[in-house]
Amino acid sequence: MPNAYDLQGRKAIVTGGAQGIGRAICEMFIASGADVAIWDVDATLAEQTAGEIGASAITVDVTDEASVNEAVLKTREALGGIDIVVNNAGIAGLNTGTHDYPVEEWNRVLATNLTGTFLVCRAVARVMRERGYGRIVNIASIAGKEGNPNAVAYSASKAGVIALTKSLGKELASYDIAVNCITPAAAKTAIFDQMTQEHIDYMLAKIPRNRFVKVEEIANLVAFLASSENSFTTGGVFDISGGRATY
């Protein structure tokens, strides 16, 4: 049984919430009393997941500014406000050496993982400043701290998410808005379908716990960071890498 955090009445957005880590976070939030909007580019899967867990579904492309702004309006109408945002939407990109890495693939990964996080943070920060309250949790990666070989775009994008979190956390600290990120090791989700087996084996070999993180473990940490109990820490980076992190 997961720990319960008091999110009663809170209005939450989870990007990429239709499956994997995002779905686990949505389920944890709902169990803790929050109203949840799943933001996902896959409209069919988002509607299916929303129906199964009791959430709202909003189709959004986080790489598109107009789509994000429209989704904010739809979410405020559907939920009545925005208190919590989890930026979870992300892609792995190709596993290949930097010397062969296609520029178009670099741009695609950065657009989703980093620019997408920026666009969502930018849009919801305006709403949260008006309310004088908010919790933003960005899903970075241990790759953003250490850099994974043959994953230059993914590693760089997640390092950018860490820096974005630190910057925004300082900007919004006086508004009772906490902005933090987590740096998980890999979890067995659909993102594994985008990776080579060699890369998956490399990631597992680097984890002292000798297993991949469970999505429920990530959801528990995110739930604390999204709660009002997290009343002081902002701009923080929370490790959940099974002992892999060196700092």
- CATH number, domain containing residue 70: 3.40.50.720
* Helix 20-31 with 43-53: angle, nearest 10 deg: 30
Is 129 inside any structural domain?
yes
Within-domain flag for 44: yes
Average pLDDT over residues 185-193: 75
For residue range 112-130, list pLDDT tens digits in order.
999 999 999 999 999 999 9
Please tell me whether the overall predicted TM-score, pTM, comes out greater than 0.75 for this model: yes
Task: Decide if pLDDT at 2 tops 70.
Answer: no
Using alpha carbons only, what angle is made at residue 232 by residues 71 and 3, rounded to the nearest 5 degrees?
Answer: 75
Give residue-wise pLDDT tens across range 155-172.
999 999 999 999 999 999
Q: Is residue 26 in some structural domain?
A: yes
The pLDDT of residue 3: 66
pLDDT higher than 80, residue 188: no
Average pLDDT over residues 223-229: 97
Q: What is the pLDDT of residue 163?
A: 98
Note whether residue 236 is domain-resident.
no
Distance CA 198, CA 247 (A): 25
Range of the domain at 79: 11-230
Within a domain: 223: yes
Number of domains in the chain: 1
CA angle, residues 99, 105, 107, in degrees to nearest 5: 105
Distance (Å, whole) CA 236 – CA 218 = 16
Q: Is residue 152 part of a domain?
A: yes
Residue-wise pLDDT tens digits, 129-138: 999 999 999 9
Q: Which residue(s) pair with 180 in the sheet?
A: 137
Q: What is the spatial distance between Cα 220 and Cα 33, in angstroms, rounded to a whole number?
A: 14
At 212, the pLDDT band (50, 70, 90 cuts) reads confident
Active-site residue, 101 included:
no
Residue 245 lies in a domain: no
Position 182 in a domain: yes
Please tell me the number of Cα atoms within 13 Å of 171 on its side-chain side: 14
Residue tagged active-site, from 5, 101, 133, 154 = 154
What pLDDT does residue 1 have? 43
